[in-house]
Structure 1
Amino acid sequence: MRLLTRRETSAFEEPARRAALFRLISLLLQYPDAELLAARDELSRAALALPESPTRDALVAFTAWYAECEPMPLARAYVETFDLRRRSSLYLTYYLHGDTRRRGMALLTLKQRYRVAGLTPPEGELPDYLPVVCEFAALAGPSIGEAPLRQHRKGLELIRTALREAGSSYSLVLDALCAELPDLSAAERAAVADLALAGPPAEEVGLAPYGPPLDETPNETEVRP
């Protein structure tokens, strides 16, 4: 894994800066496996290399926490935060479509969008998984690659709100991401508040494979290998 140094970033035009930023966010939102744990110092340097901004401040604060965490508690926190809580699931189409047939079509459309851009969706992962969507934004550029993030801006706000309410340090990564996207209008903020109360649409018709995990507190948190 190779990320950007301060000198390289300073020479970049805005599209390249955004690409580096979305790539970094994609990595920070993935499960902290051995490769990511080994790259924590490099991730911290990449955050420090960003131009001065609220986005940089949020990512510097997060990577400082990330670098200090012991591996097992960090992995456990990730699983408990994103795998076991429906309100902070990283699967974006759930917030827009819930467990309905429209979600299946949205997933297919997103996968086709990747292929049209010449990118191959990862095996074993849904195309609306936020780290994958951020990686697409980094690779395909602002006009095409960032469109799915803008489309799911309300869902991102819901995730950020849930992380803040849970006191999760991962809220800093969502702060950084949302700071790079258009702000919500008053009507959109009202819609987010309504959605937070009522939840996404529900339709229990053959979409079990797409649903995010239910909120639950198991006796022992399973940590991925």
Structure 2
Amino acid sequence: MKADALARAWQAQSLLVGYPDEQLYARLGLLDRVAATLDDPVGGPLRRLVAHLARTAPARAAADYVATFDHRKRCCLFLTYYAHGDTRKRGMALLRLKQTYAAAGLRLVDDELPDHLAVLLEYAATDPRQGRALLAEHRAAIELLRLALRDAESPWAGVLDSVSATLPPLGADLRAAVARLAAEGPPEEQVGLAPFAPPEYMPDPRLTPQGASR
């Protein structure tokens, strides 16, 4: 895909994986038109989610979103959690992401975590070359989330299918990493986080912010 198509895809994915609030509902028509400009493996799953949201009452969609991402540990949208759990390594990973965004001029609001998938996708849309490399770093977590959403028969699985279609196919090493993460789960060390990241960047990873800022 060309850089402009990747930017459109990642921006649309970023919005659609966010909390289904009034702003998202107001953009469904635009998102459908954007998705229609993309190749079917990328745009098709997005159009299906748009259609699902369009025929679903906002309150019901919001409840489904919370039940999926806030109450299912396997469907965590905070990608560093899969590899690091609540450990010092996660604090370091969050801080590095925040610094990467700041260098590109992307500022987060106080209630946003830098490893939320919507935030990574928004960053990728602003700089497709660097963004693709950053998404590739978190490829195993993205795949694990995609599989968990498919197992749950979630309509949001389509967003992850679309993200996956913008990235290189999984190699043997990444498949092994996905299998290892699925079998072992994230580490659970609960101490020593503060020196590596401010406390506001270390909430319970199962609590999803209400979408990324726009």
Fold conserved (TM > 0.5)?
yes
Structure 2, unpaired ranges of 5+: 194-198
2:102 counterpart (87, 110, 115): 115
> Residue 120 of structure 2 contacts residue 135 of structure 2 at CA under 8 Å; is this kept in 1?
yes
Any idea what SS the aligned residue of 1:118 has? coil
What code does the residue aligned with 2:191 have?
V
> Residue 41 of structure 1 contacts residue 67 of structure 1 at CA under 8 Å; is this kept in 2?
no
- TM-score (normalizing by structure 1): 0.84
> Residue 99 of structure 1 contacts residue 210 of structure 1 at CA under 8 Å; is this kept in 2?
no
1:47 counterpart (15, 19, 35): 35
Deviations 1:5-45 (A, max 9, x none): xxxxxxxx921111111100000011011111122222222
What code does the residue aligned with 1:121 have?
L
Residue equivalent to 1:67: 54
Residue equivalent to 1:155: 141
What code does the residue aligned with 1:49 have?
T
CA RMSD, aligned part only? 1.8
Indicate the percent of aligned positions where both proteins have the same amino acid. Answer: 48
- TM-score (normalizing by structure 2): 0.88
Residue equivalent to 2:90: 103
In the TM superposition, 1:107-146 aligns within 5 A as 107-139=94-126, 141-146=127-132
1:170 counterpart = 2:163: no
Give the greater-gyration-radius structure (CA).
1
Residue equivalent to 1:211: 204
What is the distance in 2 between the residues matched to 1:37 and 1:70?
Answer: 10
What code does the residue aligned with 2:19 have?
Y
Deviation at 1:206, TM superposition (A): 4.9
* Greater RCO (Cα-Cα under 8 Å, separation 6 or more): 2
> Residue 19 of structure 2 contacts residue 62 of structure 2 at CA under 8 Å; is this kept in 1?
yes
